[in-house]
Amino acid sequence: MNNAWKIVIGVVIGFVAVFGFPFYYNLGKANVAPKLKYDTPAILEYEKEHGKKECVEPKEFMAKEHMQLLNTWRDEVVRYGQRIYVNSRGESFHISLQNTCLNCHSNKKEFCDKCHNYLAVNPYCFSCHIVPKEKQS
């Protein structure tokens, strides 16, 4: 058959185009993982009062499980009217994205969005909640 090589080359090119894509797409781009900022006025104030920065749960837990925690909070409030969260240290918090989480993390662009954009995650928190005004020090 005369055009055998056409097919073969077609297959090879198609194959390289698909599987080589991530390589040449990233050509020349630096591999920079996002750095988060914990320097909002509220956090700095907390640090002044308590001598340390801490979230409702340990940082490692929050990094991996915040989405689940937020989901639980939403269900507690919306479905069961439960507004108090007791954390692993025994402290109580008012369950509220707006007034608790975003009170400290009032820098969505420098905090939430950093990782979410990096990993192309689009959580639907803010389809109901209002994005607070960015506050930074």
Partner 1 sequence: MKILIPFFAVIALVVIALVGAQASHALFGIWIPYAAVLIFVFGFIFKVLKWGRSPVPFRIPTTAGQMKSFAPWIKQNKLDNPSSSLGVLGRMLLEVLAFRSLFRNTKTQLYPGTKLTYGSEKFLWLGGLAFHWSFLIIFVRHFRFFMQDVPYPIQIVEHLDSFLQIGAPLLYITDVVLLGAVTFLFLRRVMMPQIKYISLPADYFPLLLIFGIGATGVLMRYFAKVPVVSVKELVMGLLTFSPVIPQGISSLFYAHLFLVSTLLAYFPLSKLMHMGGVFLSPTRNMANNNREVRHINPWNYPVHVHTYEEYEDDFREKMKKAGLPVEKE
Residues of the shown chain interacting with partner 1 in the complex, contacts defined by CB under 8 A: 1-2, 4-5, 7-8, 10-12, 15-16, 19-23, 25-27, 29-31, 33-34, 60, 63-65, 67-68, 70-71, 115, 118-122, 124
For partner 1, the closer of residues 7 and 78 by Cβ is 7
CB of 128 to partner 1, least distance (A): 13
CB of 65 to partner 1, least distance (A): 7
Rounded to whole angstroms, the Cα distance separating 82 from 85 reads 8
Which residues, other chains included, contact 11 with Cβ-Cβ below 8 Å and sequence gap of 6+?
Answer: none
For partner 1, the closer of residues 30 and 84 by Cβ is 30
- 86: part of which helix (H) or strand (E)? strand 84-86
Q: What share of the chain is helix, strand, coil (3-state, %, to 5)?
A: 55, 5, 45
Whether the CB-CB separation of 107 and 40 falls below 8 Å is answered with yes
Whether the CB-CB separation of 100 and 93 falls below 8 Å is answered with yes
For partner 1, the closer of residues 59 and 83 by Cβ is 59
For partner 1, the closer of residues 2 and 52 by Cβ is 2
